Structure 1
């Protein structure tokens, strides 16, 4: 885990039913000798280390081939030869690196489960898996992962999962949903509504033709959460941690401090509100009928803080809440035809 002085937690309140630099991909591959974590800015740079015949190259090609490709990706190859490195040994070190979306070359369900378990426990990244097996989908679905989403396709050799991340992942967080994207280099599945519903029931997404356009079918994780919702949550948490830590760092650099009084508290609250306003402008937070952002902050003054916390120099009472904007995925429209 990274060292920091700021902790942000969000309690997600699910609505009561009436009758809800940050897209960098990491490719996790494997080879006899293995290769260390390394960043790549284009497919030609990838080819220097990973020939076109390797699975890592194929995944990278799918990422970079999209209309909105990431500015940079990372690749790591797990050693499988003498003194092999297990996923359980490798994954903790990867969470100390700079990336958000993990793509793996493996389609072995045990590997997918191991990676998804680690991503779920870390609570800061997202993982996309691809499979052509509905039986494997059922196994993964049973785990209820909120941070893992699946791409089901009969042809997984050209990495439809990586293509999806390449098309959407690096766009401004909160500005898009993951449903309805056209993927370069991926052929659509020829399926009917019954099979589509079955795929969705297994918690996965697929690629098909709607109204003459090839598009991704949905944008959900195996838990049923929307991919962009998890992405937004991660963005807000990380951004607040960064902004408030930066406030502390700047005070130290200026040979001063954040005073434990209403002035210092206001400085912390201001940094939080800056993140929330930016999140609103990017489309993460909803607006009311007057266009006012639906978020607020509560940072009690020093006079309302437990003296024990003041003595310990700990301010644990800051809070914020927001209404997530979401996106419209489906609609029902009624019309009337009149003859007079």
Structure 2
């Protein structure tokens, strides 16, 4: 098995390092990538390869081939467009159909067809495309383990895995950027969950309590459901007559909306600072230039607060975040020589959400009981 050992690199002038401190406009943040293996030719060398019937007229939005791996990345605007390449008999078609049948799907799906044994390099070739959640079209424990480890190395995008038993999650159990679902494989709960939640404005939604179109709730004994919960997996169950997803967390117990919010912050700070470089003929290496970049970071965090990613400070009624920057004189000679500025730092407090409640009540009674209740004397 190939082991993922490092994050994927990208072409950028802005690096955002984000560390988590725990207490002792949508731009594709919900887009989905479907992973499917490229069929190999038969013994006569015939067949196989990536289907190539859909065109831009049909709703094929993009098609890019990586010359090194032979992997092909495509984006489709609809099920009808995808069906020209993957018909209704394929697992991929069924999952994409389930995705688009949900309440809040994106306007597209991406499909990465990769040759057997080349998943890591194939994902590396298209990691920085506009998607943030990936699922496999078919159960593939070895490649799922590798994909989970890739997500863990990069700390940005999520793998969603569906299995019928929590035992199947053991190879990647505890990985922070893998979401485990327990559900029969006859229904695509993985695609449904992403289509229901992921494309909502980041910070405005949690992943618990959600209804999924076309997905059947499951009955579990108290013991089995406790096992699902103990493994930080998600089930689809009936609660008080209403179908809902159970706790919305990842394999290590962190909440999906927290990590999705971190992804939004990191991505948007990088994007907005990069855009500021591109919009200006020159950003001077002095107070005015430093203040300009600092304001971009501040405004991005402020937007994150307005979306619900960042907690509201009760005292100021503003976002509970802080942005600081050091002046030119504090930068190293090496950074000055390379025209690199590394003096901006920020912190923020995640907003979180309420997922359960305990309500305490007091009954006032006028009944005097035999044991002295109600204030009677003995």
TM-score, length of structure 2 as denominator length: 0.82
Measure how far apart 1:103 and its partner are: 0.9
- The alpha-carbon distance between structure 1 residues 4 and 89, as it changes in their structure 2 partners (threshold 3 A), is closer
Query: Any idea what the Cα deviations from partners look like across 1:31-60, whole Å, max 9, x if unmatched?
Result: 412432111122111111110110111110
Equivalence map 1:53-202=2 (5 Å) = 53-79=89-115, 84=116, 86-141=118-173, 144-153=174-183, 155-202=184-231
Equivalence map 1:190-269=2 (5 Å) = 190-251=219-280, 256-269=281-294
Paired residues in the alignment total 325
Q: Which moved more, 1:144-153 or 1:302-311?
A: 302-311
Q: Distance in 1 between matches of 2:150 and 2:332?
A: 37
Measure how far apart 1:85 and its partner are: 5.1
Contact 2:149 2:172 in 1 (8 A): no
Aligned to 1:304: 330
SS at match of 2:201: coil
Q: Distance in 2 between matches of 1:242 and 1:330?
A: 36
Contact 1:127 1:147 in 2 (8 A): yes
SS at match of 2:161: strand
Measure how far apart 1:134 and its partner are: 2.7
Q: Distance in 2 between matches of 1:318 and 1:90?
A: 34
TM-score, length of structure 1 as denominator length: 0.91
Partner residue of 1:50 out of 86, 100, 120 = 86
Aligned to 2:298: 273
Contact 1:39 1:73 in 2 (8 A): yes
Aligned to 1:3: 11
Extract unaligned runs of 5+ from structure 1: none
Measure how far apart 1:87 and its partner are: 1.8
Moved over 3 A (4+): 303-308
SS at match of 2:84: helix
Q: Distance in 1 between matches of 2:310 and 2:32?
A: 25
Extract unaligned runs of 5+ from structure 2: 1-8, 40-47, 51-71, 367-378
- The alpha-carbon distance between structure 1 residues 186 and 287, as it changes in their structure 2 partners (threshold 3 A), is same
Aligned-pair Cα RMSD in Å: 1.5
Contact 2:166 2:231 in 1 (8 A): yes
SS at match of 1:205: coil
Measure how far apart 1:140 and its partner are: 2.8
SS at match of 1:9: coil
SS at match of 2:362: coil
Q: Distance in 2 between matches of 1:311 and 1:25?
A: 42
Aligned to 1:336: 362
Q: Distance in 2 between matches of 1:90 and 1:110?
A: 15
Q: Distance in 1 between matches of 2:170 and 2:154?
A: 23
SS at match of 1:204: coil
Aligned to 2:307: 282
Measure how far apart 1:123 and its partner are: 2.4
